[in-house]
Chains A and B, each alone.
Chain A
C-alpha cells in the first residue's frame, strides 16, 4: 500500500477499525457469557447517553448538568408505558418525546442565563425532576420501579421476545446505532454548522439572521430525546429504576466519559464509554477500585492529554511515518464529509 497517499491509508485504517468494531459488536453474544453481554448493553447505552450530552457540550457549546434528568425522564416514561402494556416501540417513542420536551422546556428556562449560571440552572432544574420522581407515587417514589418488562417486538409475521439477554442486547445495539446516526446527521450537516457557529460566537451568528435561541432549543430537544432513548433502553435492561438516576451526580457520568474519550471528536464519548466499561469489568471483584482507577485516569487525561483518548491516538498517528503530513482525524469541528466532499481530492 506504499503507493497510496496518507489520506488513503488513513481511510483504510478507518474502514478496518469500523469492520472490527462491527464484527465484535455483532458477534459478542456468541463468544461472551451473559454477564459480559449485559455489561456490553450497558456500555452501548452509555455511549448514546454521552454522545447526546456531547451534542450540547462540544457542538453547541452548552454545558448541561441536567442530562441525567432527561435520561431518567425517558427511563421512567418508557418503564411506565411498558408496565401498562404499551408496545416496545410505542413506549420508546413516547419516552423520547417526553424527554425531548422536558429538555427543551428546561433549556428554554436555563438559556436565559449564560456561562456558569446556565450550568447551575440546568443542575437545579434537573434536581426538580429528581424530586418529582422521588415524591410521586406513580413513579414508585423512593422505592423506585421494579419488574420492568422487556416486552417483545412484533414484526408482523414473527414476534421476537426481548426477554433473553442476547435478544435484548441486539435490540439495544440497533436502537443505539439509530440514535447515533441521528446525532451524526445533526452534527455533520448544515444544522451542525450553525451549532458550531453559535459555539464560536453567538452574537455574530445572530447577525447572520439566525435565531440562535431556536437552534439552541432544537439542540436541547435532540440531545434530550436521545438521552431519553438511552434511558428507555436502560430500564428494561436492569429491570429496576431508582430515582437517584435523575440526580446531577449521574449527570457527571456523560461529562467524564466525554472528557476521557475526547470531546472534540464525534466518537470521543463512545471511546470514553468503552474505556469505562473495560475498567469496570476488570475491577469488578475489587470494591472501590474502579473509582480509584477512573479518578486517576481522568486526572492524567485532563492534565496531560486534554484531547482525551482519541486526541492522544490522533497525535500518535500523526507522529507515525505512515500518516505523517496527512490530516489524520482532524478534530470534529462539525465540518462534514457532506459539506467538504471536495476536500480529500483537493
Chain B
C-alpha cells in the first residue's frame, strides 16, 4: 500500500485581501510523479512557494512524513528532503557549473555540524568530487564543468538547477515548470532526464507545467487548480475526460485534444 509523504491540509493563502489559495488539500504518495495544472493565475506557483516555505501560509497545515512543517524555514525543509527548482532558473551566475554542484552537494553533506564547518576550509572530499562527475555526465554538462554559469544557455541553466536539486537526494522534488522557455528538443531531453533520474532514485515529483505533452508523458497523477481551488484529482485519462477541467480551460480545450 502506497505511503503518503507530503500532505497538504486545507491550505489557504491570502495576499492582502486576495485569496490565492482556498482550502487546498491533497496528498502525495511516495514515489509518484504528480502534475499540478491549471490556467494562469490559478495559484500553482503560490502553492509551491507555500510548500517550500518561501512564503508563509495563512491557514491550514503541511505535513511531511507525519511532521507538521508549516512553520519551518525554507532551509530546514530542504534539509528534511523537500527540494525545489524555480520557474525562471535561479542559479549562481558568477560560479562555474562544477562549483554549483559542489555547493549543493556540500550543503547536503551537512555544513552544519562543527566538523564539517572545519572541513569547509579545505578542498571538497573525494565523495563530493566523484558524485559531481557522475551528475555532470548524467545531465550532459561534463564538457561545461569549468564554464561560468552565466555563459550557459537557458535550457542548460534549468538543467543545472535540476541537477543541483537532484544532487541532494530529495525525497520530494518540487519542479516549477521544468521545461518553460525551452525549445522542443530541450523539452524532450529534459523530460527524458527527469524520467531517468526518477527511475534511478525513486523520489516523489510534484511539478507544474503548461506543456500538456510534458504533463501527459510524465505524470502518474494530475491535480487541477483553478482560481485557488482544487477542482480535480486523478489519473491522466480521468482528468482528460473531466468536464469541470474542460470548463476551467475554457477556450483552451484543444490543448487536451492535441494530446493523444
A contact set with B: CB distance below 8 Å = 185-186, 189-191, 193-194, 196-197, 200-201, 203-204, 206-212, 214-215, 218, 333, 335, 338-343, 346
Of chain B, the residue at the smallest CB distance from A190 is B120
- Judge whether B60 is part of the interface by a CB distance below 8 angstroms: no
Report, nearest first, the 3 A-B pairs whose CB atoms are least far apart.
A209-B78, A191-B120, A209-B79
Residues on B with C-beta less than 8 A from A207 are 52, 54, 74-75, 78, 83-84, 90
Contact code string B102-126 (vs A, CB < 8 Å = 1, else 0): 1110111001100001011111100
Residues A209 and B96 in contact, CB atoms below 8 Å apart:
no
A174 to chain B, nearest CB (A): 21
Contact indicator A203/B54 (Cβ below 8 Å): yes
The residue in A200, A210, A346 that gathers the most chain B C-beta atoms within 10 A of its C-beta is A210
- Interfacial chain A residues near B212, Cβ < 8 Å: none
Contact A200 B124 (CB under 8 A): no
Contact A208 B78 (CB under 8 A): yes
Residues of chain B touching chain A, judged by Cβ–Cβ distance below 8 Å, are 52, 54, 73-76, 78-79, 83-84, 86, 90-96, 98-99, 102-104, 106-108, 111-112, 117, 119-124, 146, 164, 168
Report the minimum CB–CB distance from A100 to chain B (whole Å): 15
Residues of A within 8 A of B120 (CB): 189-191, 194
Known: A185-B121, A210-B111, A339-B123. A197 touches B103 (CB 8 A): yes
In the complex, residue of chain B having the shortest beta-carbon distance to the beta carbon of A346? B146
Whether B95 pairs with A333 at a CB distance below 8 angstroms is yes
B112: A residues at CB distance < 8 A: 211, 214
Partner of A209, one of B54, B92, B108, B122: B108
Closest CB-CB distance, A39 to chain B, in whole Å? 33
Contacts of B102 in A (CB 8 A): 190, 193, 339
Q: Smallest distance from the beta carbon of B253 to chain A beta carbons, Å? A: 36
CB distance from B47 to the nearest CB of A (A): 16
A190-B106, A206-B75 given; name 14 further pairs at CB < 8 Å.
A186-B121, A193-B102, A194-B120, A200-B93, A200-B95, A201-B90, A204-B92, A206-B73, A207-B78, A207-B90, A208-B75, A211-B75, A339-B99, A340-B146
Known: A207-B78, A208-B164. A335 touches B96 (CB 8 A): yes
Q: How far is the CB of B163 from chain A (nearest CB, A)?
A: 12
Tell me whether B168 and A208 are in contact (CB under 8 A).
yes
Whole-angstrom CA separation of A346 from B145 in the bound complex = 11
Quick check: A333 and B94 within 8 Å, CB to CB? Answer: yes
Complex CA–CA separation, A196 to B83 (angstroms): 21
Q: Would B122 and A335 count as touching, CB distance under 8 A?
A: no
Nearest B residue to A212 via CB reads B75
Contacts of A214 in B (CB 8 A): 112
- The minimal Cβ–Cβ distance linking A201 to chain B, given in whole angstroms, is 6
Chain A residues, Cβ within 8 Å of B164: 208
Which residues of B are found within 8 Å of A211, using beta-carbon distances? 75, 111-112
Complex CA gap A343/B95 in Å reads: 13
Who on chain A is nearest to B170 by CB? Answer: A209
